[in-house]
Structure 1
Amino acid sequence: MKSDNSYLGYVLHRRPYRETSYLVDFFTLELGCIRAVARGVKNSKSDKKSLLQPFQPLTASFAGKGELQSLRKVESAGPTLMLVGKPMFCAMYLNELVTRLLPTGMASDSVFHAYQSALQSLLTGDDIEWVLRQFEFCLFDELGVLPDFSTDAQSGLPINEQCNYVLIPELGFTEYHSGMSKLQPFPGRMLMALANGETDVQTKKVAKVLVRLLLAPLIGNKPLKSRELFS
């Protein structure tokens, strides 16, 4: 049971800071992403150091008023999720997405719970590709960039399963015409399948292409390091 001044969360990343400390990025339910200094733990064998690992649910308390906080206390909130192989690489990808895309201090119940659910699904061996898509869509939705899969953004009409559509940034899907030959077309029936939560092979392929299009302007020219692990 967490106390009133502690926050439920996970370590996204840690790195050495000065001689004896770590700089730690946390993802918390109540505060969103927060960066804190864990002082004096780098060369110790303390419980605090052992808890500052990814995929370990914990509660933590912080001190300070600026962007860089000081870690006061950290306690376990459950067993470490023992992810290995591809599930571990996928979980590292989730961590990088949160770190790169979610603004510091932006708390989101939906993204936090989607993150927890994704970690559990990776641990139990669920459909990895769809686990990633569900989390990505949740994060995009929170950031306001997830398009409506069921409505033509320009006409306001329902997506027609017999037509093709293209994704216009900051607008949504609109019906494809000949002047859009440089844009990626999406079959209307595939968009409706996504809207209905279908998970067949073809729908998942379309979802993967769509995620890449949505991610491109968000990550810019700095590629995701976690993707390199898959190669």
Structure 2
Amino acid sequence: MPVSEWLNACVLHRRPYRETSYLVDFFTLESGKVSAVAKGVRNSRSERKSLLQPFQPLRIQLSGKGELKNLTLMEGTSNAYPLTGFNLFCAMYLNELINRILQPDLPVSDLFAVYQRSLIALANLSHGGTQDAQIVLREFEFALLAEMGVLVDLSVTTDLGCKVDPSEYYMFDAEQGLTLASPNYPQKLPGSHILAVVHKNWSIEALRIAKFVNRLALRPLLGDKPLKSRELFTLS
């Protein structure tokens, strides 16, 4: 990666690296997820350290040919997104999803744009707007699943390709997709609520189903390790 190439970026996560440095995971418009060593900033009070925070829009330059780059230049492009409370937890959840699922150096410019819009939406929500925040999360999850090529069309059944009937009940499985529910299936999904998800008519019931479906769809991508950000929602 040439040193002269500027990347539009946000910090996903940083952690101590050796005695004076940070290992930083960035989400970038041009190269997707990239990891870099920020040398000599850990124990300093420099602007570089203060900029290396999640939700701070940046331009960065990296050097190095391997998967782990070196951070050479960095500047803030605007103020950090003003995220607090529940909305901050939501943004941290987005960061963890990206960091856990995306492969390094895979350009995903459309997903980066959705991520930016999601942060702006969360930053503009009131502290009590938890349902609106849930909408932001569900729509980002759908965008991420689409980027990974595993988004299921919820308007038709996977096995027969029949259109979802609002009067029927369905079941969802990450491998089998959406099928008609068997009589004794414990978690039947009403067709009317599934269609509300398809058309983004975000009722409480539609959000509940979208959360259920997305959690199952994301599980194969995330593996067995629990998401740390989900613990924040249980504590709030």
TM bucket by the smaller chain?
over 0.9
The 5-angstrom pairing of residues 36-185 of structure 1 reads: 36-125=36-125, 127-178=132-183, 181=185, 184-185=187-188
How far is the alpha carbon of 1:162 from its aligned partner? 1.5
Partners of 2:194 and 2:178 in 1: CA distance: 9
Q: For residue 11 of structure 1, what is the aligned residue in structure 2?
A: 11
How far is the alpha carbon of 1:171 from its aligned partner? 4.2
Partners of 1:53 and 1:196 in 2: CA distance: 36
Q: CA RMSD in A?
A: 1.6
- Percent of residue pairs identical: 46
In structure 2, the residue corresponding to 1:205 is in which secondary structure? helix
With 185-194 and 71-80 compared, the bigger mean Cα shift is at 185-194
Deviations 1:165-212 (A, max 9, x none): 22232442122224x736x32211111111111111111111122122
Deviations 1:44-100 (A, max 9, x none): 222211111100000111001111000010111111112111111111111101000
Q: TM-score, normalised by structure 1?
A: 0.93
Partners of 2:4 and 2:197 in 1: CA distance: 40
In structure 2, the residue corresponding to 1:14 is in which secondary structure? strand
1:200 aligns with 2:203: yes
Q: TM-score, normalised by structure 2?
A: 0.91
Q: Check whether the contact 1:147–1:171 (CA below 8 A) recurs between aligned residues.
A: no
How far is the alpha carbon of 1:4 from its aligned partner? 6.4
Letter in 2 for 1:152: T
With 154-163 and 52-61 compared, the bigger mean Cα shift is at 154-163
The number of residues matched between the two structures is 227
Q: Check whether the contact 1:166–1:185 (CA below 8 A) recurs between aligned residues.
A: yes
Partners of 1:227 and 1:167 in 2: CA distance: 22
Partners of 1:70 and 1:96 in 2: CA distance: 22
1:31 aligns with 2:31: yes
Q: Check whether the contact 2:4–2:61 (CA below 8 A) recurs between aligned residues.
A: no
Partners of 1:156 and 1:208 in 2: CA distance: 23
